[in-house]
Copies of this chain bind each other. A is one copy, B any other.
C-alpha cells in the first residue's frame, strides 16, 4: 500500500455525521479477522481507522513519525479541515520545513478510535444492527487508541516509528506508545500531559459529560436518529473545557474586564464582557464540528488513563530497560497538566534508566500553548527531533 498525499475537499457542516462512516481521509479497514481487543474485554470488529499521511516513507522505512491528536483534534493535522475549512490544527509544528518536516519524514496522523472523523466511534454505524452505535459503543481507553494505531502502522508496513509526538491527550498516547511498544518507538515527544489524569481533571470532564447528558436533545445518545442535536449541552461542556485550556493570565491579557463593544455595562445578562462573547463563540463553533457522544467517550478514556496502575503502581516499571529517547515538555502556566505532573514522569523515566530531557517552557498561554506559536517550544521540538534524526542515521534535509 502506497501512502499518498491526502486529498482535501470542503464538507458542509451538515455533512459532519457522514464523516463518521465515509471520511474525507485515507482509510484502513480491519475485518473480522483483525479485531481490536479493547481493555474492557470487548473485541471491536470490524472497525476502521481514518488517517492522513504526509511526505514519503524512505526505503528503510525508518523515517515515520506518528502524530497523536488531543481530545477535540483529529487526523487533519497539516491540511485544510474538511468540515471547518480551517488550516491544519498543528501547522506550527507539522509541514515543510517545520520541526516535524514533511519534506523529510513520513508523517501519519490518525483519528483515534472513539472519535468522530472516520475512525470507528459512537457516531459510526454498528454493522451488527445497521444503526449508529451511540452509547452501545464500548468504552475505550488510551491503550485501546494506541493498539489501533499499532495495527494501522502494521498495515502501512511500518515496524518502527522514528518518533511519536503529541500534546495533551496526544501526549498521553505518546507515553503509552513508549510503555506498550518500546521496541517500536525510537523517540517520543510527549507535551503538556501526564501518565494519569488528576482528580481535578476527572472533575472537569465529569462536569462536561453531565452538561451533555443534561441536554434533553441528547436523547440518551440517540440524537442522530431522533433528528436532534445536543448543542447547548455540548456548548457548555466546551466552554468549561476551554477555560481550563487557558491561564488566568492569558485570559486577563486577552480580555481583562473589558466590555464588549460598549462603554458602560448593560446591567443585563447579555455578553457584557469580551470574555463572555469569546466563550459563547467557542461553545457554538465547537458543536458544529464535534460529536457529543465522542466527547463523552474520549473524556472517559482520559479519565481512565493511569500507566502506573498497569505496573503495580510503579511508573518507572512501565519504562524499565527502554531504549526510547524522550523529550518531555511542559508549560509554566498550564494548570490542566501542570509542570509537576511532567516532572513526575521525568523522575520515573530517570528511575527506569531512560534517556530523557525535560523542558519547562516559560509562557503565560496556559495548556493551549502547545498548539500556538511559542518560539522556545518550537525550537526545542526541532532540536530534539534533529538530534534524534542524526543518531537514527536519517540524513539532514
Q: Which residues of chain A have a CB within 8 Å of any CB of chain B? A: 39-40, 135, 138-139, 196-200, 202-204, 206-207, 209-211, 213-216, 232-233, 235-236, 239-240, 243, 246, 248, 251-252, 254-257, 265, 267-269, 271-273, 275-276, 279-280, 283, 296, 300, 303-304, 306, 309, 335, 338
For A300, the chain B residues whose CB sits under 8 A away are: 269
Residues in B with CB closer than 8 Å to A252 are 198-200
What residues of chain B lie closer than 8 Å to A279, measured between beta carbons? 203, 206-207, 210
**Closest chain B residue, CB of each to CB of A139:** B267
Determine if B200 and A276 form an interchain contact, defined as CB atoms under 8 angstroms apart.
no
- The interface centre, meaning the residue of A232, A236, A273 with most chain B CB atoms within 10 A of its CB, is A236
Q: Is the CB of B202 within 8 A of A276?
A: yes
Q: Is the CB of A243 within 8 A of B203?
A: yes
Minimum CB distance partner of A274 in chain B: B199
Instruction: Contacts A200-B251, A252-B199, A257-B306 given; indicate if A239 touches B210 (C-beta within 8 A).
Output: yes
Q: Tell me the complex Cα distance, A239–B203, Å.
A: 8
- Asked if B273 and A202 sit within 8 Å, CB to CB, the answer is yes
Tell me how many chains of this kind the complex includes: 2
A46 to chain B minimum Cβ distance, whole angstroms, is 21
A209 touches B269 (CB 8 A): yes
Residue A236 contacts which of B139, B207, B216, B254 (CB distance < 8 angstroms)?
Answer: B207
CA distance A18 to B164 in the complex (A): 61
In the complex the two chains form, is A200's CB within 8 Å of B248's CB? yes
The complex places the Cα of A303 from the Cα of B279 at a distance, in Å, of: 15
Q: How far is the CA of A202 from the CA of B280 in the complex (A)?
A: 13
A216-B216 in contact (CB<8A): yes
Whether the Cβ atoms of A206 and B138 lie closer than 8 Å is no
8 Å CB contact of A275 from B206, B236, B257: B206
Q: Give the distance in Å from the alpha carbon of A47 to the alpha carbon of B367 in the complex.
A: 47
**B residues near A196, Cβ cutoff 8 Å:** 257
Residue from the list B236, B240, B257 in contact with A214, Cβ < 8 A: B236
Q: A199, B240: Cβ atoms under 8 Å?
A: no
The listed residue (B210, B246, B251, B271) touching A283 by CB distance below 8 A is B210
A203 to B240, CA, bound (A): 9
CA distance A267 to B143 in the complex (A): 13
B residues in contact with A255, CB < 8 Å: 199
The 3 closest A-B pairs by CB, nearest first: A214-B232, A40-B267, A139-B267
| CB pair A214 B233 closer than 8 Å | yes
Most interface-central of A207, A239, A256, A257 (chain B CB within 10 A): A207
Q: A251 is contacted by which of B138, B199, B215 (Cβ under 8 Å)?
A: B199
Expressed in whole angstroms, the Cα–Cα distance for A252 and B338 within the complex equals 14
- Assess the A257–B207 pair: CB atoms within 8 A: no
Please, which residues of chain B bring their CB within 8 A of the CB of A139? Answer: 267-269
Chain B residues within an 8 Å CB radius of A283: 210
A214–B202 alpha-carbon span in the complex (Å): 23
Chain B residue nearest to A238 (CB atoms) is B207
CA distance A202 to B273 in the complex (A): 8
Seed contacts A135-B269, A199-B252, A207-B239; 15 additional CB < 8 Å A-B pairs: A39-B267, A139-B269, A199-B254, A202-B275, A202-B276, A203-B239, A203-B251, A207-B240, A210-B279, A210-B283, A211-B211, A211-B214, A257-B306, A272-B303, A335-B335
Cβ distance A254 to chain B, nearest Cβ, rounded Å: 8
Q: Is the CB of A210 within 8 A of B198?
A: no
Which residues of B are found within 8 Å of A296, using beta-carbon distances?
A: 269
Known contacts A255-B199, A275-B203, A276-B206: A236-B248 contact under CB 8 Å: no
- A114 CB to nearest chain B CB (Å): 12
- Minimum Cβ distance to chain B for residue A137 (Å): 11
